[in-house]
């Protein structure tokens, strides 16, 4: 089967990953050797033969990346000129939607099989079906309550911990009938989760509760957790060549981009190095993402950190739990 479109929201500012997202949009930060976006797109079942990115912030960076590093399925890019929010962003790509269509947040990774969404929506009917996952603290997410038949009867976006109706959160993957798009006003900024979804519930919205690994890569800690999850659950159909770094002490799993070097350095576990990264002798990198052309000085330590392109770490400097970039307007006086 084919002919289903996957609409993917990637237009946010990535504020919680600043300053790195001043240059690299969140979804293009590599984890386990590939951009978060590509891991997210892997979630879309094989029947999805066309992917449309709803872009806003840094659309030109997505365009250049996709051109230089094509994803295995066709990807079209649609830009919005002003940020329209998740609802407005979806409405802006409405003409691309098939019936039904998948909707995906471009920053989520998961060990989910989405095929049952389509089966359940066909069998039970309704406007759409969303994937949910249970977490310890649901307050940073969209939270649902279900009736015994699995229908969503309440949805609250980012409630306080006390007000959360359950610990089951919107995993950012869903399948919708095309008519849902008529519920979104055109040309204005709207939040799908806050302003549209609650009003759709009387028209039958289903929930699929998954018990599998999942993460939203929206903050440095969550991005690094996403990386660890992806390294620990490699896809069996597309195993990457094991990464090497000549002359370095490697603690797998790691992923190393072309042109990177690390003679006398220690790397791992859970590290992605971009292209042309230089690790000097005695440098150590652990549980981190280090982007293109960064340089880690001799004897320096980088741990639990995300470093943007071209960052230079001084000799013997210790960076633990930092998110740093060359360009950081927040640091200017």
**Which positions touch ligand GDD (CB under 6 A)?**
9-12, 54, 56, 80, 83-86, 89, 105-108, 141-142, 157, 169-170, 172, 193, 216, 218
Indicate the Cα dihedral angle 176, 177, 179, 184, nearest 10°: 0
141 binds, among Mg ion, ligand GDD, none (CB under 5 to 8 A by kind): ligand GDD
Q: Does 193 bind Mg ion (CB under 5 A)?
A: no
Nearest one of 134, 175, 168, 135 to 152, comparing CA atoms: 168
Give the nearer residue to ligand GDD in terms of CB position, either 91 or 278: 91
Give the nearer residue to ligand GDD in terms of CB position, either 169 or 255: 169
193 binds, among Mg ion, ligand GDD, none (CB under 5 to 8 A by kind): ligand GDD
287 binds, among ligand GDD, Mg ion, none (CB under 5 to 8 A by kind): none
Give the nearer residue to Mg ion in terms of CB position, either 222 or 275: 222
Give the whole-angstrom CA distance, residue 171 versus residue 109.
9
Give the nearer residue to ligand GDD in terms of CB position, either 8 or 32: 8
Nearest-approach distance from CB 172 to ligand GDD, in angstroms: 4
Nearest-approach distance from CB 333 to ligand GDD, in angstroms: 29
Nearest-approach distance from CB 315 to ligand GDD, in angstroms: 37
Give the nearer residue to ligand GDD in terms of CB position, either 223 or 285: 223
Give the nearer residue to Mg ion in terms of CB position, either 225 or 260: 225
DSSP bridge partners of 289 = 272, 306
Candidates 193, 215, 216, 286; binder of Mg ion (CB under 5 A) is: 216
268 binds, among Mg ion, ligand GDD, none (CB under 5 to 8 A by kind): none
Nearest-approach distance from CB 105 to Mg ion, in angstroms: 6
Give the nearer residue to Mg ion in terms of CB position, either 193 or 216: 216
Q: Does 295 bind Mg ion (CB under 5 A)?
A: no
Nearest-approach distance from CB 217 to Mg ion, in angstroms: 7
Nearest-approach distance from CB 70 to Mg ion, in angstroms: 25
Q: Does 218 bind Mg ion (CB under 5 A)?
A: yes
Give the nearer residue to Mg ion in terms of CB position, either 218 or 308: 218
Of all residues in the shown chain, the one whose CB is closest to Mg ion is: 218
As a three-state string, the secondary structure of the chain is CCCEEEEEECCCCCHHHCCHHHCCCHHHCEECCEEHHHHHHCCCCCCEEEEEEEEECEHHHHHHHHHHCCCCCCEEEEECCCCCHHHHHHHHCHHHCCCCEEEEECCEEECCCCHHHHHHHHHHCCCEEEEEEECCCCCCCEEEEECCCCEEEEEEECCCCCCCCCCEEEEEEEEECHHHHHHCCCCCCCCHHHHHHHHHHHHCEEEEEECCCEEECCCHHHHHHHHHHHHHCCCCCCCCCCCCCCCCEEECCEEECCCCECCCCEEECCEEECCCCEECCCCEEECEEECCCCEECCCCEEECCEECCCCEECCCCEEECCEECCCCHHHCC
Nearest-approach distance from CB 160 to ligand GDD, in angstroms: 15
């Amino acid at each position: 089967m084919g002919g289903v479109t996957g609409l993917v929201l990637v237009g946010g500012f990535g504020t919680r990953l600043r300053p790195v997202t001043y240059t690299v949009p969140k979804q293009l930060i590599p984890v386990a050797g590939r951009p978060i976006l590509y891991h997210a797109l892997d979630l879309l079942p094989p029947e999805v033969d066309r992917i449309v990115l709803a872009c806003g912030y840094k659309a030109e960076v997505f365009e250049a990346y996709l051109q230089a590093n094509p994803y295995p399925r066709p990807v079209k890019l649609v830009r919005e000129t002003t940020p329209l929010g998740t609802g407005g962003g979806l409405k802006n790509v409405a003409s691309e939607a098939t019936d039904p269509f998948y909707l995906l947040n471009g920053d989520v990774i998961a060990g989910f099989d989405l095929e049952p969404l389509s089966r359940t929506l066909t069998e039970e009917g309704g406007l759409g079906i969303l994937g949910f996952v249970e977490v310890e603290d649901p307050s940073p997410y969209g939270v649902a309550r279900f009736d015994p038949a699995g229908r969503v009867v309440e949805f609250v976006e980012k409630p306080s911990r006390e007000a959360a109706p359950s610990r089951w959160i919107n995993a950012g993957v869903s399948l919708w009938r095309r008519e849902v798009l008529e519920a979104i006003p055109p040309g204005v900024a709207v939040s799908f989760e806050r302003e549209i979804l609650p009003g759709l519930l009387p028209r039958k919205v289903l929930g699929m509760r998954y018990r599998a690994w999942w993460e939203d890569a929206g903050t440095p800690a969550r991005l690094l957790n996403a990386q660890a999850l992806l390294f620990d659950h490699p896809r069996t159909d597309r195993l990457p060549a094991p990464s090497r770094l000549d002359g370095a002490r490697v603690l797998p799993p790691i992923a190393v981009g072309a042109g990177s070097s690390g003679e006398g350095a220690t790397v791992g576990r859970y590290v992605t190095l971009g292209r042309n990264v230089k690790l000097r002798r005695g440098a150590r990198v652990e549980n981190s993402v280090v982007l293109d052309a960064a340089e880690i000085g001799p004897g320096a330590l980088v741990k639990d950190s995300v470093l943007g392109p071209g960052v230079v770490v001084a000799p013997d400097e210790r960076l633990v739990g930092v998110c740093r970039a060359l360009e950081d307007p927040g640091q200017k006086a």
